[in-house]
Structure 1
Amino acid sequence: MCYFCGYYSNLGGYTLKVTFLGTGTSQGVPIIACSCPVCQSDDLHDKRLRSSVLVEVDGVRILIDAGPDFRQQMLRERVKDLDAILLTHEHKDHVGGLDDVRAFNYVLNRPMDIYALERVLGHLKVEFSYVFSEKPYPGVPQMALHPIGPEPFMVKDVEVTPISVRHFRLPVSAYRIKDFTYITDANYISEEEKQKLSGTRVLVVNALRREDHISHFTLTQALELVDEVKPEVAYLTHISHQMGKYADVQRELPENVCLAYDGLTLRL
């Protein structure tokens, strides 16, 4: 484990907690029916649910992505309250668990606020058509959809800055909250959008594997972005079984870079 896992910093003026709910790729790790050394590993660091993080700022709880493991992740971390969900894009491994917001609807007695690009919200209306029908079936999830653009927006008193990245040709939303930036499912960021990363102290970026990929940063490309942005600490996420075992890869990384793992918590 690198020195910065469990990273603490005195930012002043606010408190921020980040919990990695899942750090795996679209199939998770282990992959069904795979007998590779990573999928057969006994190290819990090599057990990865689909990628998602919970960000808590001065008591405001913001989830980024709700994939097929959403229910399991909420139960594991004993999450009782959730103020909003930010979606990066519409792929199933990032939205597939949204039906389970029903539990929060019941407990909190309100619809779940969901923020995403207009395109992504349009996809939800198709994927979860039963939620948005004229006469919805009793007990279906309640979702309040909020379209976002390139400008910062507010979740309660917390400012969120969207950062446009590319997942092959698909525009995807990364997010910056205070000095924390989360980038998943990307292999291209324009110079203009990189300016929004300036000064970020904690950077999370996807690193799928070592070999080139059509829509994700490789390990080398992710490390190049870290070197360019120069955060105090960086965490790699959306990791496939092709990356290698956690313990082996971690030993190769610079001192200020860690492979994230499920359940890792940062307090800033």
Structure 2
Amino acid sequence: MRVTLLGTGDTTGTPTVGCDCATCERARELDVERSRFSVHVRNDRTGESLLIDCSPDFRHQFLTQEVPLPDAALVTHIHFDHLDGLGNAYRLFDDLPVHATNVVDPATDESVAGTIRRKYDYLDRVSVAAHTPHEPFRVCGLDVRFVPVDHPPLLCYGVVLEDPETGAKCSLTGDTSFGIPDDSRAALADPDLLLADAIVPASSCEHHPQGGKHRNDAGVPRTFGSKHMTREGALDLAAELDADRTRLVHLAHYYPAGEAFAEPLAVDGETYDL
């Protein structure tokens, strides 16, 4: 499978609109971008493509990256930067199956699949398939599982993709704190490629009203506030999962300019063949 990182940024992206911070200026100097999160996976065996999360930057991403339109999509949760790009499906598809989870979220009284059905009921060429977390299903010739993670107050899911013929595996944490359940960690483990939420460095926790939590033995916070992993938390998770390769994604412009484009922080357009 070929994995293309269409969007590697958080909800505002980098450069952020109207921002002249040193990190956004550095991104402009380097001519790199972190648009809102989305991942494209092409199965070269079948010629099919899968989109993970529907970024509001959908149009820009597909005009600037050399990838085909997807044959199907997955949605990890209902925050706008992961879902609202689905509106771009209007007039582009004859049929687009969208896969999401069937668990009713107490915060919304709907499952992710139910929210998509309601919100995009006008897109008659989009069909929604609901799945139980941890139960594998096949789409675009790949075995897929949604695994619960920790992104309060909403339910959110990571994704495990495996090629049933080659054994190649890609794991995405989804938006999450370091407090990922043990059964989900087991499902995410041993990937050829791990895409891990790492919104800010741990040093940024001093600026968050809730500070940081899930501290390691050295006292470094692995969760920023309550919703996202820090860089240090994502790297600790990668080591725990024994990832062969790790790219840090869902990155904010709050990284100091001197750290913001260092390895293994990803930028849009990176591709990986598994």
With normalisation by structure 1, the TM-score equals 0.81
Runs (4 or more) in structure 1 with deviation over 6 Å come to none
* 1:90 maps to 2:96: no
Per-residue Cα deviation, 1:175-208 (whole angstroms, up to 9, x for no partner): 1112111122111211111111232121110100
**Counterpart of 2:150?**
166
Map of 2:171 onto structure 1: 181
1:125 aligns with 2:117: yes
Q: Secondary structure at the match of 1:170?
A: coil
Give the equivalent residue in structure 1 for 2:270. Answer: 264
Following superposition, the deviation at residue 80 of structure 1 comes to: 3.6
Q: Please state if 1:248 is matched with 2:259.
A: yes
**Which of these residues, 186, 189, 192, is aligned with residue 183 of structure 2?**
192
CA distance in 1, matches of 2:79, 2:189: 28
* Aligned residue number for residue 38 of structure 2: 52
Structure 1: segments with no counterpart, 5+ residues? 1-15, 132-140
Q: Which has the higher contact order (CA 8 A, sep 6+)?
A: 1
**Equivalent in the alignment of 1:7:** none
Residue 26 of structure 1 and its aligned partner are, at CA, apart by 0.5
1:212-223 alignment runs, 5 A limit? 212-223=224-235
Alpha-carbon distance between aligned partners in 1 of 2:256 and 2:57, rounded to the nearest angstrom: 22
Note if contact 2:4-2:41 (Cα within 8 Å) is conserved in structure 1.
yes
Contact 1:184 1:237 in 2 (8 A): no
Amino acid at match of 2:125: Q
The answer to whether the 8 A contact 1:60-1:158 is kept is: no
**Would you say the 8 A contact 2:8–2:266 is kept in 1?**
yes
1:17 CA drift (Å)? 0.4
Deviations 1:155-191 (A, max 9, x none): 1432112221111242212111121111221112111
Report Cα offsets for 1:7-32 as digits up to 9, x if no partner. xxxxxxxxx10000010000111222
Deviations 1:128-160 (A, max 9, x none): 3433xxxxxxxxx52110001120011143211
188, 196, 199: which one pairs with 1:205? 196
Q: How big is the shift at 1:249?
A: 4.5
- Is the 8 Å Cα contact of residues 104 and 112 (structure 1) preserved in structure 2? no
Partner of residue 18 from structure 2, selected from 19, 27, 33: 33
User: Alpha carbon RMSD of aligned pairs, Å?
Assistant: 1.7
Counting matched residue pairs gives 233
The aligned residue for residue 30 of structure 2 is 43
Bigger mean CA offset, 18-27 vs 119-128: 119-128
1:227 aligns with 2:212: no
For structure 2, list consecutive stretches of 5 or more residues without a partner in the other structure: 103-110, 163-168, 206-223
Amino acid at match of 1:94: H
Q: Say if 1:84 and 1:114, in contact at 8 Å, map to a contact too.
A: yes
Q: Percent same amino acid among aligned pairs?
A: 30
Output the amino acid matched with 2:6.
L
TM-score normalised to structure 2 length? 0.80
- CA change 1:129–1:60 in 2 (3 A) is closer
Residue in structure 2 matched with residue 157 of structure 1 by the alignment: 141
Equivalence map 1:67-82=2 (5 Å):
67-82=55-70
- Partner Cα separation in structure 2 for residue 44 and residue 228 of structure 1: 34
